[in-house]
Amino acid sequence: MSQITLIRHGQANTTATDEQSYDNLSDLGRQQTRWLGEYMRAHGEEFDRVYAGSLNRQQQSAQEWGAAEIITDERLNEFSFYEISNAMHAAFDLPRPTTREEFIAHMPLVFSAWQDGHLVGDFESFHSFQSRVDDALHDIAAGDGRAAVFTSGGIIGMAVRVTMGLDTGTFTRLMLSILNSSVHRIHPVGAGLTLTQFNAIPHLEARDRHHAQTYI
């Protein structure tokens, strides 16, 4: 089994209200991933394989980072957040969060309802989402050499959940902390995979780049 480096896409369209309008990098998002590529190359980071989901923001991030060749795997696509959130509001008539604090409190409720099968809509089940992430991780880990994987916060959060056995509440809180263009590492330990690095942003630590440390 080989090491996997998970990279969250750069900042996308922060004013979006649906999946399609969200799915493109902002100018800052493009810069974040360019900085990450420059940092990794300057520090001798090399990868034998580069993967990305098929979503625009994931592909754009890999390209801006400097990938010469991208292996596209749709299992790395984000879950349908807006559809699932809308189903939550329809089922329970909850007010929509308008601040980050409200959003942080709201997300565990959404994921619990999704996991327990209380939401109705044309989207995958929570358990299907978990299974595809688990399958993708193990398939990538089974390949030769180090792999860089450009994906989204929900995929990274689920990767941590399946490798570390997190409960749903812990998983959702962790997912909300994942920064744009952040780096996460999973290593084979024994017969399984284990998280060894989480939410690293060395390319954004300089004082003049603190403004680029974004979550959405």
* 17 has pLDDT over 70: no
Reported as a single tens digit per residue, the pLDDT across 109-123 is 899 999 999 998 999
Q: What is the pLDDT of residue 202?
A: 98
In angstroms, rounded to a whole number, what is the distance separating the alpha carbons of residues 119 and 24?
27
Confidence of residue 95 (pLDDT cuts 50, 70, 90): confident
For the chain, helix (H) and strand (E) counts, in that order, are 8, 6
In angstroms, rounded to a whole number, what is the distance separating the alpha carbons of residues 215 and 153?
9
Confidence of residue 94 (pLDDT cuts 50, 70, 90): confident
Residue that has been written with the tokens 């109705």 in this structure = 120
Q: Which residue has the higher pLDDT, 88 or 37?
A: 37
Q: Which residue has the higher pLDDT, 167 or 4?
A: 4
Q: What is the pLDDT of residue 16?
A: 63
Confidence of residue 34 (pLDDT cuts 50, 70, 90): very high
Per cent of the chain over pLDDT 90 is 73
Reported as a single tens digit per residue, the pLDDT across 52-85 is 999 999 999 999 999 999 999 999 999 998 899 8
* 10 has pLDDT over 70: yes
Residue that has been written with the tokens 């909300």 in this structure = 176
Helix axes 27-42, 56-65, angle to 10 degrees: 40
DSSP character string of 100-128:
HHHHHHHHHHHHHHHHTT---SSS--HHH
Confidence of residue 187 (pLDDT cuts 50, 70, 90): very high
Q: What is the value of pTM for the model shown? A: 0.93
For the chain, the average pLDDT equals 93
Q: Where do the domains of the chain lie, and which CATH numbers do they carry?
A: 4-78+144-212 (3.40.50.1240)
Reported as a single tens digit per residue, the pLDDT across 146-180 is 999 999 999 999 999 999 999 988 998 899 999 99
DSSP SS3 for 23 = coil
